[in-house]
Structure 1
Amino acid sequence: MTTEGTFLPDVSLQGPRSVAHRVRLAFSAIRNSLTTLWSRTGVRSTVIDASVFLIAVLDVWLVVPDDAPTYSVYLSALSCGALLLRRWFPFTVLLLATPGFMAGWAQVAAMMALGFLATRKQTHWQVWVGAWLVWMCRFILWPLDEFVALSWQLHALDVIYSTVVAGMPLAIGLLIGARQQLATRLAELAASRDRERKLHAEMVRAEERTRLAREMHDVVSHNITLIAMQAGVLTAAAPGGEAERTARTVRELSTQTLEELRGLVGLLRSGSVDDDGPSPKVCEIPDLVQGCQVPVKLHLDTLPAHVPDQVSAAAYRTVQESLTNVRKHAPGATTVITVSADDEALHVEVRNDPPARAADSGPLPSGGYGLTGLAERARKLGGTVESAPTSDGGFCVTARYPVNTVDDTAEDAEPMETPTA
């Protein structure tokens, strides 16, 4: 099978450009892979926790002197190790980090613990207690005798530095937490607006369905009832003969139409989106052909054991609409209906000859919505409907409906034998 419109470039003329393009594609694939990997919560959390821990350890290792007391090294190590639990116990981690800051060298560990506590708790009392502890750890010099020996100028500088050390992680944590809360609220607001739009659309559709049901019941149903009553009067007034048979047919069709109309009105008022009411089957096509008053040749092959209800109804409606168009636009024309199936789809073809005579009562009104509706139904089921005039002046409607892509819970039916009409 050949595909037209396919262009294969000459690789020999695009050597350097082709290599550069492949390199860009490779870098793009690596970047997408890293982005996907980073977006996974577990990987991202592990990388962040490891980075925080390593930065805190590096801060202690760079500033601790060789002659540092052993207890200060242990307290600093405890402060760094406690950061691994900051996601679950933020306030406890801060309490464990402050001794390593006051009597040790873990200043960055305490600042990180305070920043994460502020991010999680925002203006909770634990945040202010933690900020005061970090401030005191930076202000008080260990051992205490050296702190007492400092001059007032150094104490004033320690107040400034302590405020910076405690205030910077506090401000960053509050900012990050507020940003997260704002993003969450914006997402909730967007979801709420989507729900409101959906509810409003449902309300508008429900009102429109109710209006259509009311109009169908009050206008169409009334007129069809009058037609059925007039046909009954005509049947009683002209017993025997062609007039009685025609009137009886009109009455039967009017009664059947009223029943279908009541079902449609019920569906509209119930607000059901799908066709949950009784629907015609493809096995009822022979009955439809017998009462259509059109010379028809029906070829109905053996169908699969299970045909979804929606596909079966679509095939029936295709034949029904095609026969209606033949009666309206090609009176007296011979029509050939072929219904067949394979492993994937149900096929329907309705082909009629040119009209044999002119319409008895002039052209009937037609809006062209019947074939449009068939096409829309087919697209919904994943199929196709095509219609076009034939070369001899007739018309042909061809439909294809997949039988394996429609979920249906109906029980399997027995295979239908080929009838003859």
Structure 2
Amino acid sequence: MTARGARWGRIPDPVVDAVAVAVAVVDVLLSLEDASRVAQALAALACAALAVRRRFPLPVFLLTLPASLMLDIVFAPFAALFTLAERSRDRRPLIVCAIMFALASAVPWPLDDLSAHDRAWTLVYFFYTLATAASPVLLGQLVQARRDLARRLVEIEEAREHERLLHSQAVLARERAQLAREMHDVVSHQVSLIAVQAGALQVAATDPEFKAGARTIRSLSVDTLDELRHMVTLLRASGGRATELTPQPTLADLHKLVTTSGIRAELTGELPPEVNTTAQRTAYRTVQEALTNVRKHAPGASATVRLWRADDGDTFGITVTNTPPTRPSLPLPGSQQGLVGLRERAELLGGTFESGPTAVGGYEVNLRIPARTD
């Protein structure tokens, strides 16, 4: 948004409405010569109705038509038509309203018998007024498109930032896992050998000082090995505070994942407490991927995350359902492998993963895992 657009956006709506009503009143006052009381009342009603045109754009426009028929006014119907075009996504009513305004402006009042010459000029004036009425319609549609574009640009930037954050967290998780493997396979192994050799020297040594030195080396090696094992555990679990993006999430993190997903989402139900760590990670990743897809491919939709357990107790699962999008989806960056990875995770646990559109235009993913996966 430009600096000028930002300044206009900071003007309060009541101020804009008051200015619109004032300009409409001036326009009416210039056309009140020899006007009847009925025409004056209709003109006053049209001007006053502009104050609520944002909430009731179509009724306000219809209220301006009688005044347009009886008086030569332009601003009030144009303002109402602009507001209607700015808020309507169906162009057919806009065409009908533009034609109605052109008729109301072109048809003479009172409706007397017209000569052939007058009828011809009325027809010419009708098409001239219809072409003029296209201006507020096109301007309103342009403002609506600009607003939608700005909102979509924000959504794209948020999605890209989310993707970058996910990628950085994935890279960090891989680096932590690699470092943990190196420490476990190489460093811990070498320290273990030092502890064993020091123990052997302690047993075989006859010199008390040599034996004490070997005992010290063995003690330090054992302590170092414990510290290394503790560090390896921390590296494998998480590199920082627990968030929805940590590499080892659990069911306890689902609530925060849903509430911070950036969409209107609700979490219902619960899973059995004996679910193992691998199954908890699979359940978490399923919800995470489903909510990310809703955010990317169904703008404006809401989602429901339902945790459930079968009546026989042999299986449990997660169902994520979203409503139809309220705006057209955008081509956002992605690997297109998220659902494939979830299906592979489910198959490794002996479960199933299904996804597809719903009957009402939304989307649903369903994860089913056996209760015993060990």
* 1:206 counterpart = 2:173: yes
2: CA distance, partners of 1:176 / 1:128: 17
2: CA distance, partners of 1:267 / 1:147: 92
2: CA distance, partners of 1:147 / 1:115: 32
Q: 1:36 to 1:182 in 2, by over 3 A?
A: closer
Q: Percent of aligned positions with the same letter in both sequences? A: 40
Which residue is equivalent to 1:62?
30
Q: 2:63 aligns with which of 75, 86, 96?
A: 96
Residue 83 of structure 1: CA displacement? 0.8
Asked if the contact 2:69/2:104 (under 8 Å) is kept, the reply is yes
Asked if the contact 1:140/1:147 (under 8 Å) is kept, the reply is no
Asked if the contact 1:76/1:105 (under 8 Å) is kept, the reply is no
1: CA distance, partners of 2:140 / 2:69: 22
Residue 93 of structure 1: CA displacement? 1.2
Instruction: Letter of the 2:109 partner, please give it.
Output: W
Asked if the contact 2:86/2:141 (under 8 Å) is kept, the reply is yes
Q: 1:73 to 1:148 in 2, by over 3 A?
A: farther
Residue 129 of structure 1: CA displacement? 3.0
- The 5-angstrom pairing of residues 17-166 of structure 1 reads 40=10, 43-65=11-33, 67-145=34-112, 151-166=118-133
Asked if the contact 1:72/1:105 (under 8 Å) is kept, the reply is no
Asked if the contact 2:103/2:126 (under 8 Å) is kept, the reply is no
Q: 1:102-143: CA deviations, max 9, x gaps?
A: 223442101110111101113344323322221221222221
The alignment yields a C-alpha RMSD, in angstroms, of 2.7
Q: 1:130 to 1:237 in 2, by over 3 A?
A: same
* 1:262 counterpart = 2:225: no
Residue 266 of structure 1: CA displacement? 1.6
2: CA distance, partners of 1:53 / 1:191: 39
Segments of structure 2 that go 5 or more residues without pairing to the other structure are 243-374
2: CA distance, partners of 1:146 / 1:44: 48
2: CA distance, partners of 1:95 / 1:35: 30
1: CA distance, partners of 2:5 / 2:125: 44
Q: 2:220 aligns with which of 239, 249, 253?
A: 253
1: CA distance, partners of 2:207 / 2:21: 102
Query: Where has structure 1 moved over 4 Å in runs of 4 or more?
Result: 34-40, 146-150
Instruction: Letter of the 2:162 partner, please give it.
Output: R
Asked if the contact 1:91/1:126 (under 8 Å) is kept, the reply is no
Residue 39 of structure 1: CA displacement? 5.7
Q: 1:51 to 1:146 in 2, by over 3 A?
A: farther
